[in-house]
Amino acid sequence: MKLVSLLWSNILHRKTLSLLTICSVAVTVALVVFLLLCSAGVEQGAEKGYGPFEVTIGAKGSASQLALNTYYHIGAPTGNVPLALLEEVRKDSQVDSAFAMTTGDNYNGFPIVGMEAGYFVTRYGTDKQMASGNLYNKLGDAVIGSHVASALGLHVGDKFQGAHGLVKGAVDEDDDDGAGAEEHGHQHSFSYSVVGILPPLLTSDDRAIFTTLDYAWTVHESEQSDHKEVTTILVKPKTLVGAQAIKNKFGQMSNVQAIYTSKAVADVVNVVDKGTQALSVVTVICILLAAGSILLSLIAAVNERKKDVGLLRLIGKSKKFIWVSLIGEGVLLTLIGLISGLLIGHVGGFFSRAWVFEFSGLQIQSWQLMPGEWLLVAGTLLIGVLASVGPALQAYRVDPLQLFRS
């Protein structure tokens, strides 16, 4: 009698209970895999999220809010600072380069960001060529991120009109009367023309629309130079010591804050980690339920298996064969659930990656094998073995002769 055939026939004999056991293991493993993918996305996003801009200057308010809005295009800006401040920053001897950013509008939920074109070379280097088209050079030109292009089906030469506010105000290109504008994002008549599409950058810039800095002053009718404002100033210091000097100097100005970008991003990551820890409690509960499910499945089979074990012992099967047949059923159920869970977790990550990125700016590398997955595989199989030992021991201890006499 082949061992695998014996194990498989035992599993099929209790189809419903076996299926429930496999499902409980699969759901637990899939949840853990998805959490690992999201956690890796947070770490990668934090690492790539702000490039060389170690100091960020903006209006007084939350440092985390300033960093999230500037580099991840999440949430509202803390306010505006005068455009004149940009020249002061650039004149500082400790500053290598500085770029101003304006924001506050959107197109179909994707932020429209006014940014000086030099930002892309400074952050991503000269090796990043445009996927198609060119960078903008005049008012009304727009360069769109790779995710925006794929999500909205935009190409070089397309035109669109944005909406005021950061909440989606879907505006159809053919909707000249602005009827498509929604409650929180009113259409403005300013028209943009797509002149370029960025390559995949694996940062939140993939889901943004970039245009010239002066778009905001035109759209919001702030033509007088004395009243021109920008949302944020991104600063690349020459040295780390210079970063401290820049922060101290400009952080003392009225209604202005200067932050260490890395610290603000780290604070956000710490908050996310705490949320992940809370989810880990749910995951542990799921693991215990899965282990309990395996245990119940095997306990339910004990009485049926006693005669099988007794017969195997009477016909002279080795102790090793009998033990493997007893423990193997639980391990096989666990293994099937484990493989299913790994597939579900990665496939689920693949199909949800666009939604997760659009919602949170997290890049999920769905087919990347996480370091923690090896521990997950080993831990799941160990739980399967441990849950199988008790019922196996109970079945093996029965005296086969006494069993058949009764």
* pLDDT score recorded for residue 219: 79
Burial 361-391 (b: 16+ CB within 10 A, else e): bbbbbbeeebeebeebbeebeebbbebbeeb
* pLDDT score recorded for residue 364: 73
Identify the top-confidence range among 43-47, 80-84, 296-300: 80-84
Q: Which amino acid, 34? A: F
Helix intervals (H) in 210-367 = 215-219, 240-251, 261-314, 319-360
* pLDDT score recorded for residue 209: 96
Identify the top-confidence range among 41-50, 248-257, 289-298, 307-316: 248-257
Q: Would you say residue 34 has pLDDT above 80?
A: yes
* pLDDT score recorded for residue 162: 86
* Nearest residue to 152 via CA among 191, 193, 108, 187: 108
Query: What share of the chain in percent tops pLDDT 90?
Result: 32
pLDDT top residue among 145 and 306:
145
Of the pLDDT bands very low, low, confident and very high (cuts 50, 70, 90), residue 311 is low
* pLDDT score recorded for residue 93: 94
* pLDDT score recorded for residue 172: 41
* pLDDT score recorded for residue 226: 59
Q: Would you say residue 350 has pLDDT above 90?
A: no
Q: What is the pLDDT of residues 117-170, one digit of tens each?
A: 899 999 988 666 788 999 998 999 999 999 999 989 999 999 999 888 765 544
* pLDDT score recorded for residue 390: 73
* pLDDT score recorded for residue 173: 40
Instruction: Over range 16-44, report the average pLDDT.
Output: 81
Judged by average pLDDT, the poorest of 254-268, 308-322, 347-361 is 308-322
For tokens 């693991």, the residue is: 287
* Nearest residue to 228 via CA among 243, 214, 208: 214
Instruction: Over range 260-282, report the average pLDDT.
Output: 75
Read off φ and ψ for residue 323, nearest 5 degrees: -65, -40
H-helix or E-strand containing 229?
A: strand 229-230
| Average pLDDT of every residue of the chain | 80
End-to-end CA distance of the chain: 26
Instruction: Over range 325-334, report the average pLDDT.
Output: 79
Domain residue spans of the chain: 3-45+270-405, 50-268
Q: Is 281 exposed, middle or buried (0-12, 13-18, 19+ CB in 10 A)?
A: exposed
* pLDDT score recorded for residue 154: 94
* pLDDT score recorded for residue 5: 73
